[in-house]
């Protein structure tokens, strides 16, 4: 009998099941060689829920796909400098506080990142000879940026607009972990925005490349399309094409 394992990492699905973590993202700016501490709160739905914490590395592919890796796999891994509880624990419609410590090594430059993966035991089910084991999980993101030497920078490596579809490639050419927001805009003859759509709002790690795709036919009265990409600390990117 074939077995398929599914890991649900989407916060919206976890929230729909009554499971949540606050804050879901931890960001700190530290001087190299120093440490800081804090806590996260885990909340379970009604009924008993057993969770298995696991320290991991993670990265995003060009299409936003998430890859989970063993801790310390990446050159900019925060895992060696992140102390989090990894003992399994149970909740019964209650909250649990998890305390952490994170730091940066001497000589650190730019941004380091890791994650705490909170997983519930797999739930088996069988249908038409297919055995499926679903595992609910939530990935808490940790970022630590070296104070004074982070350099945010973005670059558009390719952009095209054909048949009402925009395709662009965005590259993080700096050493900071960025959270870019890309907006597609339709412009009239006077350069005014008459329609817009958010095409991307996600993380982009140093050296990472992200493919942006948006179906955005120009409405009546529009003479040009503009792509605008912004991220904190980085120079904004603008790209325009006429109808």
- Does residue 132 share a domain with residue 34? yes
Please say which residue of 146, 167, 190 terminates a domain.
Answer: 146
pTM of the model: 0.87
Average pLDDT, the chain: 89
190 vs 27: CA distance, rounded Å: 41
- Does residue 172 share a domain with residue 76? no
| Per-residue pLDDT tens digits for 28-49 | 999 999 999 999 999 887 667 8
**Cβ 222 vs Cβ 190: under 8 Å:** no
Measured in degrees and rounded to the nearest 5, phi and psi for residue 124 equal -85, 150
- Does residue 124 share a domain with residue 100? yes
**CATH number where 230 lies:** 2.60.40.10
129 pLDDT tier (thresholds 50, 70, 90):
low
- Looking at the 3D structure of the chain, how many domains does it have? 2
Residue 152 or residue 10, greater confidence: 152
**Cβ 176 vs Cβ 136: under 8 Å:** no
22 vs 24: CA distance, rounded Å: 5
- Does residue 223 share a domain with residue 139? no
- Does residue 166 share a domain with residue 101? no
Please say which residue of 118, 146, 174 terminates a domain.
Answer: 146
- Does residue 171 share a domain with residue 107? no
The tokens for 185 are 């805009």
Best mean pLDDT range from 62-66, 73-77, 122-126 = 73-77
Query: Can you give the residue range of the structural domain that contains 207?
Result: 154-242
Which position has the token pair 């920078």?
153
In terms of DSSP bridges, do strands 209-215 and 193-201 run parallel, antiparallel, or are they unpaired?
unpaired
- Does residue 83 share a domain with residue 120? yes
């Amino acid at each position: 009998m074939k077995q398929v394992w599914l890991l649900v990492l989407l916060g919206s699905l976890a929230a729909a099941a009554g499971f949540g973590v606050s804050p879901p993202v931890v960001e700190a700016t530290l001087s190299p060689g120093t440490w800081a501490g804090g806590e996260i709160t885990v909340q379970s739905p009604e009924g008993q829920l057993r969770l298995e914490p696991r320290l991991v590395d993670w990265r995003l592919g060009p299409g936003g796909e998430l890859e989970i890796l063993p801790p310390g796999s990446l050159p900019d891994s925060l895992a060696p400098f992140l102390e989090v509880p990894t003992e399994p624990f149970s909740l019964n419609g209650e909250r649990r506080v998890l305390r952490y410590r994170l730091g940066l090594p001497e000589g650190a430059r730019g941004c380091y990142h890791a994650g705490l993966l909170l997983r519930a035991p797999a739930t088996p089910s069988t249908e038409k000879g297919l055995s499926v084991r679903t595992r609910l999980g939530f990935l808490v993101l940790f970022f630590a940026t070296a104070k004074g030497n982070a350099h945010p920078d973005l670059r558009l490596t390719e952009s095209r607009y054909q048949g009402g579809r925009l395709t662009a490639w965005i590259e993080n050419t700096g050493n900071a972990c960025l959270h870019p927001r890309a907006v597609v805009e339709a412009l009239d003859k006077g350069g005014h925005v008459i329609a817009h759509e958010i095409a991307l709002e996600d993380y982009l790690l140093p050296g990472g490349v992200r493919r942006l795709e948006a179906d955005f036919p120009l409405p009546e009265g529009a003479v040009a399309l503009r792509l605008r990409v912004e991220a904190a600390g980085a120079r904004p990117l603008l790209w325009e094409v006429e109808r």
